[in-house]
Structure 1
Amino acid sequence: MVKWMKAMKERTQKLKRSTKPQPPQPAKPAATASWKDRLNHDDYEDLKNTFEIFDEDHSGSIDPAEINKVLEELGLDKRNPFVLSLIHGLRDVNHPVTFEEFLNIIGTRVGETKTKNGLRAVFAQFDRDENGLIDFEEFKAISKQLHENLNDDDLLEMLHSTHVNQKTASNEGVTFDEFYRIVSKFANK
Protein backbone atom coordinates (compact mmCIF):
# COMPACT_ATOMS: atom_id res chain seq x y z
CA MET A 1 0.00 0.00 0.00
CA VAL A 2 2.85 2.37 0.85
CA LYS A 3 4.50 1.66 -2.50
CA TRP A 4 1.19 2.37 -4.27
CA MET A 5 0.78 5.71 -2.47
CA LYS A 6 4.35 6.72 -3.35
CA ALA A 7 3.71 5.91 -7.00
CA MET A 8 0.48 7.90 -6.88
CA LYS A 9 2.26 10.91 -5.34
CA GLU A 10 4.98 10.79 -8.01
CA ARG A 11 2.34 10.68 -10.72
CA THR A 12 0.47 13.55 -9.02
CA GLN A 13 3.59 15.69 -9.08
CA LYS A 14 4.02 14.92 -12.77
CA LEU A 15 0.38 15.80 -13.41
CA LYS A 16 0.68 19.11 -11.53
CA ARG A 17 3.67 20.10 -13.67
CA SER A 18 1.83 19.28 -16.88
CA THR A 19 -1.54 20.94 -16.22
CA LYS A 20 -2.73 24.46 -15.57
CA PRO A 21 -3.48 25.37 -11.96
CA GLN A 22 -7.11 24.69 -11.06
CA PRO A 23 -9.24 27.22 -9.18
CA PRO A 24 -9.67 26.38 -5.49
CA GLN A 25 -12.53 24.04 -4.68
CA PRO A 26 -15.43 25.39 -2.64
CA ALA A 27 -15.38 24.47 1.04
CA LYS A 28 -17.24 21.37 2.05
CA PRO A 29 -20.65 22.13 3.54
CA ALA A 30 -20.64 22.13 7.34
CA ALA A 31 -24.06 20.48 7.56
CA THR A 32 -22.74 17.16 6.23
CA ALA A 33 -21.30 14.89 8.92
CA SER A 34 -19.94 11.98 6.90
CA TRP A 35 -16.55 10.30 7.26
CA LYS A 36 -15.09 12.41 4.45
CA ASP A 37 -15.73 15.58 6.45
CA ARG A 38 -13.46 14.19 9.15
CA LEU A 39 -10.53 13.82 6.72
CA ASN A 40 -7.70 16.15 7.47
CA HIS A 41 -6.71 18.58 4.72
CA ASP A 42 -3.68 16.54 3.57
CA ASP A 43 -5.67 13.30 3.26
CA TYR A 44 -8.42 15.09 1.36
CA GLU A 45 -5.85 16.64 -1.00
CA ASP A 46 -4.15 13.25 -1.51
CA LEU A 47 -7.48 11.69 -2.49
CA LYS A 48 -8.29 14.65 -4.75
CA ASN A 49 -4.88 14.33 -6.44
CA THR A 50 -5.36 10.58 -6.82
CA PHE A 51 -8.73 11.21 -8.45
CA GLU A 52 -7.15 13.72 -10.83
CA ILE A 53 -4.53 11.16 -11.82
CA PHE A 54 -7.24 8.72 -12.82
CA ASP A 55 -9.24 11.47 -14.56
CA GLU A 56 -6.85 11.73 -17.48
CA ASP A 57 -9.31 13.54 -19.76
CA HIS A 58 -10.08 16.12 -17.01
CA SER A 59 -13.82 15.52 -17.39
CA GLY A 60 -14.49 15.59 -13.65
CA SER A 61 -15.27 11.87 -13.62
CA ILE A 62 -13.37 8.62 -14.07
CA ASP A 63 -14.38 5.51 -15.92
CA PRO A 64 -13.06 1.91 -15.89
CA ALA A 65 -10.86 2.51 -18.95
CA GLU A 66 -9.05 5.36 -17.19
CA ILE A 67 -8.65 3.22 -14.06
CA ASN A 68 -7.15 0.33 -16.02
CA LYS A 69 -4.74 2.62 -17.89
CA VAL A 70 -3.35 4.17 -14.69
CA LEU A 71 -3.04 0.81 -12.94
CA GLU A 72 -1.15 -0.54 -15.94
CA GLU A 73 1.19 2.47 -16.00
CA LEU A 74 1.90 2.06 -12.28
CA GLY A 75 2.52 -1.65 -12.71
CA LEU A 76 -0.01 -2.60 -10.06
CA ASP A 77 -1.18 -6.17 -9.97
CA LYS A 78 -4.92 -6.07 -10.58
CA ARG A 79 -5.14 -9.51 -8.94
CA ASN A 80 -4.28 -7.89 -5.61
CA PRO A 81 -7.50 -8.40 -3.58
CA PHE A 82 -7.40 -4.89 -2.12
CA VAL A 83 -6.87 -3.20 -5.50
CA LEU A 84 -9.51 -5.47 -7.04
CA SER A 85 -12.06 -4.48 -4.39
CA LEU A 86 -11.41 -0.80 -5.18
CA ILE A 87 -11.75 -1.38 -8.92
CA HIS A 88 -14.95 -3.39 -8.46
CA GLY A 89 -16.35 -0.68 -6.22
CA LEU A 90 -15.74 1.90 -8.93
CA ARG A 91 -17.10 -0.35 -11.68
CA ASP A 92 -20.18 -1.41 -9.73
CA VAL A 93 -21.69 2.04 -10.06
CA ASN A 94 -21.80 1.32 -13.82
CA HIS A 95 -21.20 4.92 -14.92
CA PRO A 96 -18.36 7.43 -14.76
CA VAL A 97 -17.57 8.25 -11.12
CA THR A 98 -17.46 11.82 -9.80
CA PHE A 99 -15.08 12.91 -7.05
CA GLU A 100 -17.82 12.69 -4.37
CA GLU A 101 -18.66 9.12 -5.44
CA PHE A 102 -14.94 8.31 -5.52
CA LEU A 103 -14.58 9.48 -1.90
CA ASN A 104 -17.55 7.36 -0.82
CA ILE A 105 -16.36 4.22 -2.63
CA ILE A 106 -12.72 4.45 -1.60
CA GLY A 107 -13.54 5.51 1.95
CA THR A 108 -15.84 2.58 2.60
CA ARG A 109 -13.25 0.12 1.27
CA VAL A 110 -10.16 1.60 2.92
CA GLY A 111 -11.66 2.53 6.26
CA GLU A 112 -10.89 5.51 8.41
CA THR A 113 -7.39 4.84 9.66
CA LYS A 114 -7.61 7.47 12.38
CA THR A 115 -10.07 5.38 14.40
CA LYS A 116 -9.86 1.96 16.00
CA ASN A 117 -12.71 0.67 13.82
CA GLY A 118 -11.01 2.02 10.71
CA LEU A 119 -7.78 0.26 11.61
CA ARG A 120 -9.80 -2.88 12.30
CA ALA A 121 -10.93 -2.76 8.66
CA VAL A 122 -7.31 -2.44 7.53
CA PHE A 123 -6.28 -5.32 9.80
CA ALA A 124 -9.08 -7.47 8.33
CA GLN A 125 -7.61 -6.92 4.84
CA PHE A 126 -4.37 -8.55 6.04
CA ASP A 127 -5.86 -11.26 8.29
CA ARG A 128 -6.97 -13.51 5.43
CA ASP A 129 -7.82 -16.57 7.52
CA GLU A 130 -9.73 -14.37 10.00
CA ASN A 131 -8.05 -15.94 13.04
CA GLY A 132 -7.27 -12.58 14.69
CA LEU A 133 -3.55 -12.77 13.90
CA ILE A 134 -1.46 -11.54 10.99
CA ASP A 135 1.02 -14.40 10.82
CA PHE A 136 4.11 -15.25 8.78
CA GLU A 137 2.18 -16.49 5.72
CA GLU A 138 -0.01 -13.38 5.70
CA PHE A 139 3.03 -11.09 6.03
CA LYS A 140 4.56 -13.03 3.14
CA ALA A 141 1.42 -12.42 1.04
CA ILE A 142 1.47 -8.71 1.92
CA SER A 143 5.13 -8.52 0.92
CA LYS A 144 4.36 -10.07 -2.46
CA GLN A 145 1.37 -7.75 -3.03
CA LEU A 146 3.59 -4.76 -2.40
CA HIS A 147 6.29 -6.19 -4.66
CA GLU A 148 8.78 -6.09 -1.78
CA ASN A 149 11.59 -8.58 -2.24
CA LEU A 150 11.61 -9.93 1.31
CA ASN A 151 12.73 -13.52 1.68
CA ASP A 152 11.58 -15.81 4.49
CA ASP A 153 14.56 -14.89 6.67
CA ASP A 154 13.79 -11.17 6.29
CA LEU A 155 10.17 -11.74 7.27
CA LEU A 156 11.12 -13.88 10.27
CA GLU A 157 13.58 -11.20 11.39
CA MET A 158 10.88 -8.55 11.01
CA LEU A 159 8.46 -10.58 13.15
CA HIS A 160 11.15 -11.23 15.75
CA SER A 161 12.19 -7.54 15.85
CA THR A 162 8.56 -6.51 16.22
CA HIS A 163 8.18 -8.98 19.08
CA VAL A 164 11.26 -7.65 20.88
CA ASN A 165 10.94 -3.93 20.12
CA GLN A 166 7.15 -3.59 20.33
CA LYS A 167 6.71 -6.22 23.05
CA THR A 168 4.16 -8.33 21.19
CA ALA A 169 2.92 -11.54 22.82
CA SER A 170 4.57 -13.77 20.22
CA ASN A 171 7.14 -13.63 17.45
CA GLU A 172 4.79 -15.64 15.21
CA GLY A 173 2.38 -12.83 14.38
CA VAL A 174 0.58 -9.68 15.41
CA THR A 175 -2.89 -9.49 16.97
CA PHE A 176 -5.29 -6.64 16.23
CA ASP A 177 -4.61 -4.95 19.59
CA GLU A 178 -0.86 -5.09 18.92
CA PHE A 179 -1.36 -3.87 15.35
CA TYR A 180 -3.49 -0.98 16.63
CA ARG A 181 -0.94 -0.04 19.30
CA ILE A 182 1.98 -0.13 16.83
CA VAL A 183 0.22 1.74 14.02
CA SER A 184 -1.17 4.37 16.42
CA LYS A 185 2.27 4.88 17.93
CA PHE A 186 3.86 5.56 14.54
CA ALA A 187 0.92 7.57 13.21
CA ASN A 188 1.24 9.99 16.11
CA LYS A 189 4.96 10.73 15.53
Structure 2
Amino acid sequence: MTEELIIAGFGGQGVMTMGQVLAYAGLNFGKEVSYLPSYGPEQRGGTANCMVVISDEAVSSPYIDEPTSLIIMNQPSLDRFAPTLRDNGILMYNASLIKEKVVSDKASKVVGIEINHLANQLGKPQLANMIMLGAYLGVSNIMPVDSIKEVLPKVFSSKYHHLLPLNYQALDLGLKTVKG
Protein backbone atom coordinates (compact mmCIF):
# COMPACT_ATOMS: atom_id res chain seq x y z
CA MET A 1 0.00 0.00 0.00
CA THR A 2 1.33 3.40 -0.99
CA GLU A 3 -0.59 6.63 -0.46
CA GLU A 4 0.69 9.68 -2.34
CA LEU A 5 -1.09 12.77 -1.07
CA ILE A 6 -0.92 16.43 -2.01
CA ILE A 7 -2.38 18.91 0.47
CA ALA A 8 -2.79 22.43 -0.90
CA GLY A 9 -4.29 25.78 0.08
CA PHE A 10 -3.47 29.29 1.24
CA GLY A 11 -0.69 29.89 3.72
CA GLY A 12 -2.18 30.01 7.21
CA GLN A 13 -4.77 27.26 6.57
CA GLY A 14 -2.68 24.60 8.29
CA VAL A 15 -1.64 22.80 5.11
CA MET A 16 1.91 22.16 6.34
CA THR A 17 0.68 21.09 9.77
CA MET A 18 -1.59 18.47 8.20
CA GLY A 19 1.33 17.11 6.19
CA GLN A 20 3.72 17.08 9.14
CA VAL A 21 1.22 15.36 11.41
CA LEU A 22 0.42 12.72 8.78
CA ALA A 23 4.10 12.02 8.11
CA TYR A 24 4.93 11.79 11.80
CA ALA A 25 1.93 9.52 12.44
CA GLY A 26 2.92 7.34 9.49
CA LEU A 27 6.38 6.86 10.98
CA ASN A 28 4.86 6.12 14.36
CA PHE A 29 2.50 3.63 12.66
CA GLY A 30 5.52 1.75 11.23
CA LYS A 31 5.28 3.06 7.66
CA GLU A 32 7.91 4.53 5.37
CA VAL A 33 7.20 8.23 4.77
CA SER A 34 8.36 11.36 3.02
CA TYR A 35 7.22 14.96 3.44
CA LEU A 36 7.99 17.71 0.94
CA PRO A 37 6.72 21.23 1.73
CA SER A 38 6.40 24.00 -0.86
CA TYR A 39 5.67 27.61 0.05
CA GLY A 40 4.61 30.50 -2.13
CA PRO A 41 6.36 33.87 -1.84
CA GLU A 42 4.25 34.88 1.17
CA GLN A 43 3.79 32.64 4.18
CA ARG A 44 0.31 33.74 5.23
CA GLY A 45 -2.14 34.25 2.38
CA GLY A 46 0.17 32.97 -0.36
CA THR A 47 -0.06 29.50 -1.79
CA ALA A 48 1.23 26.50 0.11
CA ASN A 49 1.27 22.80 -0.58
CA CYS A 50 3.00 19.71 0.62
CA MET A 51 3.49 16.22 -0.68
CA VAL A 52 3.24 13.28 1.71
CA VAL A 53 4.00 9.69 0.82
CA ILE A 54 3.03 6.93 3.27
CA SER A 55 4.02 3.43 2.21
CA ASP A 56 4.72 -0.12 3.31
CA GLU A 57 7.86 0.00 1.14
CA ALA A 58 10.82 2.38 0.90
CA VAL A 59 9.88 5.72 -0.66
CA SER A 60 11.98 6.34 -3.76
CA SER A 61 11.10 10.01 -4.22
CA PRO A 62 9.28 12.65 -2.18
CA TYR A 63 7.99 14.32 -5.35
CA ILE A 64 4.51 13.33 -6.53
CA ASP A 65 3.39 13.71 -10.15
CA GLU A 66 0.06 11.87 -9.90
CA PRO A 67 -1.30 11.79 -6.35
CA THR A 68 -3.58 9.02 -5.16
CA SER A 69 -5.33 11.63 -2.98
CA LEU A 70 -5.79 15.38 -2.84
CA ILE A 71 -6.83 17.58 0.07
CA ILE A 72 -7.72 20.94 -1.43
CA MET A 73 -8.39 23.96 0.76
CA ASN A 74 -9.05 26.68 -1.88
CA GLN A 75 -10.01 27.29 -5.51
CA PRO A 76 -6.53 28.13 -6.88
CA SER A 77 -5.22 24.84 -5.47
CA LEU A 78 -8.13 22.93 -6.98
CA ASP A 79 -7.40 24.48 -10.38
CA ARG A 80 -3.72 23.58 -10.11
CA PHE A 81 -3.82 20.06 -8.68
CA ALA A 82 -7.14 18.43 -9.67
CA PRO A 83 -5.89 17.56 -13.18
CA THR A 84 -2.94 15.65 -11.66
CA LEU A 85 -5.08 13.21 -9.64
CA ARG A 86 -4.47 9.55 -10.43
CA ASP A 87 -7.40 7.52 -11.76
CA ASN A 88 -9.63 6.21 -8.95
CA GLY A 89 -8.12 8.72 -6.54
CA ILE A 90 -9.66 10.59 -3.63
CA LEU A 91 -10.43 14.31 -3.95
CA MET A 92 -11.41 16.12 -0.78
CA TYR A 93 -12.10 19.84 -0.82
CA ASN A 94 -13.12 22.72 1.40
CA ALA A 95 -16.70 23.43 0.32
CA SER A 96 -16.68 26.58 2.47
CA LEU A 97 -14.31 28.25 0.01
CA ILE A 98 -14.99 26.24 -3.16
CA LYS A 99 -18.65 27.00 -3.77
CA GLU A 100 -19.32 25.07 -6.96
CA LYS A 101 -19.73 21.32 -6.63
CA VAL A 102 -16.51 19.65 -7.74
CA VAL A 103 -16.76 16.88 -10.31
CA SER A 104 -13.81 14.73 -11.35
CA ASP A 105 -13.80 11.96 -13.92
CA LYS A 106 -10.58 10.65 -12.35
CA ALA A 107 -11.72 10.43 -8.73
CA SER A 108 -13.45 7.42 -7.25
CA LYS A 109 -14.47 9.63 -4.31
CA VAL A 110 -15.09 13.38 -4.31
CA VAL A 111 -15.91 14.75 -0.87
CA GLY A 112 -16.72 18.40 -0.21
CA ILE A 113 -16.92 19.49 3.42
CA GLU A 114 -17.80 22.93 4.75
CA ILE A 115 -14.90 22.81 7.16
CA ASN A 116 -14.79 26.54 7.89
CA HIS A 117 -18.42 26.35 9.04
CA LEU A 118 -17.67 23.31 11.23
CA ALA A 119 -14.58 24.97 12.71
CA ASN A 120 -16.61 28.07 13.53
CA GLN A 121 -19.14 25.84 15.32
CA LEU A 122 -16.27 24.61 17.51
CA GLY A 123 -15.39 28.24 18.19
CA LYS A 124 -11.93 28.07 16.62
CA PRO A 125 -11.57 28.75 12.87
CA GLN A 126 -7.97 27.48 13.10
CA LEU A 127 -9.29 23.93 13.60
CA ALA A 128 -10.44 23.62 9.98
CA ASN A 129 -7.31 21.69 9.06
CA MET A 130 -7.82 19.11 11.82
CA ILE A 131 -11.46 18.65 10.79
CA MET A 132 -10.32 18.03 7.21
CA LEU A 133 -7.59 15.66 8.41
CA GLY A 134 -10.12 13.63 10.42
CA ALA A 135 -12.40 13.47 7.39
CA TYR A 136 -9.52 12.37 5.16
CA LEU A 137 -8.67 9.54 7.57
CA GLY A 138 -12.31 8.45 7.45
CA VAL A 139 -12.42 8.39 3.66
CA SER A 140 -8.93 6.99 2.96
CA ASN A 141 -8.64 4.56 5.87
CA ILE A 142 -4.87 5.11 5.65
CA MET A 143 -4.55 4.86 9.45
CA PRO A 144 -6.78 5.19 12.51
CA VAL A 145 -7.51 8.66 13.87
CA ASP A 146 -5.91 7.57 17.16
CA SER A 147 -2.56 7.43 15.32
CA ILE A 148 -2.86 11.16 14.71
CA LYS A 149 -3.99 11.90 18.26
CA GLU A 150 -1.00 9.98 19.60
CA VAL A 151 1.55 12.15 17.77
CA LEU A 152 -0.05 15.59 18.15
CA PRO A 153 1.66 16.25 21.53
CA LYS A 154 5.00 15.46 19.86
CA VAL A 155 4.37 17.61 16.79
CA PHE A 156 2.82 20.62 18.51
CA SER A 157 5.00 22.87 20.63
CA SER A 158 4.34 22.51 24.36
CA LYS A 159 2.95 26.05 24.45
CA TYR A 160 -0.01 24.73 22.39
CA HIS A 161 -0.69 21.59 24.42
CA HIS A 162 -3.64 23.29 26.11
CA LEU A 163 -5.32 23.17 22.66
CA LEU A 164 -4.88 19.41 22.22
CA PRO A 165 -8.41 18.52 23.45
CA LEU A 166 -9.93 20.89 20.86
CA ASN A 167 -7.77 19.35 18.13
CA TYR A 168 -8.89 15.87 19.15
CA GLN A 169 -12.49 17.08 19.03
CA ALA A 170 -11.90 18.52 15.54
CA LEU A 171 -10.40 15.25 14.29
CA ASP A 172 -13.40 13.33 15.64
CA LEU A 173 -15.83 15.82 14.06
CA GLY A 174 -14.18 15.39 10.65
CA LEU A 175 -14.30 11.61 10.98
CA LYS A 176 -17.95 11.72 12.06
CA THR A 177 -18.79 14.01 9.14
CA VAL A 178 -17.79 11.39 6.58
CA LYS A 179 -18.68 8.24 8.53
CA GLY A 180 -22.11 9.46 9.61
- Name the one with the larger helix percent: 1
TM, length-normalised to structure 2: 0.28
TM, length-normalised to structure 1: 0.27
Rg larger for: 1
- Name the one with the larger strand percent: 2
